[in-house]
C-alpha cells in the first residue's frame, strides 16, 4: 500500500518524523548525529526553516516551516537519500568485514545448525547424537 501524500502548507510549521527500518537504530555515535544535522542545515538553505529537532537513536522529530510546497520534500528527500553502504560503520575495511562476517557465521551455525537441514532443534539434537550410519546427518 502506498503512503498517503503529505499535505504541505507553505509558511506553517510541520511536525515530521523519520524512523529506521523496523525501528532499528540509525545513529550509532556523536559523529552520526553531527553529520545528520550538517545535512539538514545544508538542505534547509533551499527554503525550509528548521525551528526544532530531536534526534533519537532510532528516529528523528523535526519541526520545519517550508517556504514553498516542495520545501519539505527538497530538504528531506536529499537528507534521507542513501548513496553509501548502510552498515559503513561496521565494514570500514576488508579485514574488519571478514572478521565480523566470520564471527557472525560461526555463532549462527553453532546456535542454528538445524535450519538449513529443515529440522527442528530437537530433531537435529536427536539425530546428531545417534551413531547409526543410516541415521547420520550428511553435511
CATH number given to 14-79: 3.30.70.1290
Segments making up each domain of the chain, as ranges? 14-79, 94-135
Three-state SS sequence of 13-66: CEEEEEECHHHCCCCCCHHHHHHHHHHHHHHHCCCEEEEEEEECCCEEEEEEEE
Q: Each residue's pLDDT tens digit in the chain (139 positions)?
A: 566 677 888 999 999 888 887 888 888 888 888 888 887 777 666 678 888 989 999 999 989 888 888 877 777 765 555 555 545 566 667 787 788 778 877 776 666 666 667 777 777 777 766 655 555 544 4
**Quick check: pTM over 0.75?**
no
Residue closest to 6 by CA, chosen among 45, 46, 62? 62
Amino acid at each position: 500500500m502506498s503512503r498517503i501524500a503529505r499535505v504541505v502548507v507553505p509558511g506553517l510549521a510541520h511536525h515530521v518524523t523519520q524512523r529506521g527500518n523496523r525501528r532499528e537504530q540509525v545513529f550509532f555515535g556523536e559523529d552520526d548525529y553531527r553529520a545528520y544535522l550538517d545535512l539538514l542545515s545544508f538542505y534547509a538553505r533551499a527554503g525550509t526553516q528548521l525551528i526544532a529537532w530531536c534526534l533519537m537513536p532510532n528516529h528523528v522529530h523535526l519541526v520545519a516551516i517550508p517556504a514553498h510546497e516542495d520545501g519539505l520534500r527538497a530538504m528531506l528527500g536529499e537528507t534521507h537519500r542513501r548513496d553509501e553502504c548502510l552498515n559503513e560503520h561496521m565494514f570500514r575495511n576488508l579485514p574488519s568485514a571478514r572478521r565480523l562476517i566470520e564471527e557472525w557465521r560461526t555463532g549462527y551455525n553453532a546456535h542454528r545448525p538445524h535450519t538449513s537441514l529443515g529440522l527442528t532443534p530437537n530433531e537435529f539434537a536427536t539425530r546428531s547424537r545417534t551413531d547409526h550410519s543410516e541415521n547420520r546427518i550428511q553435511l
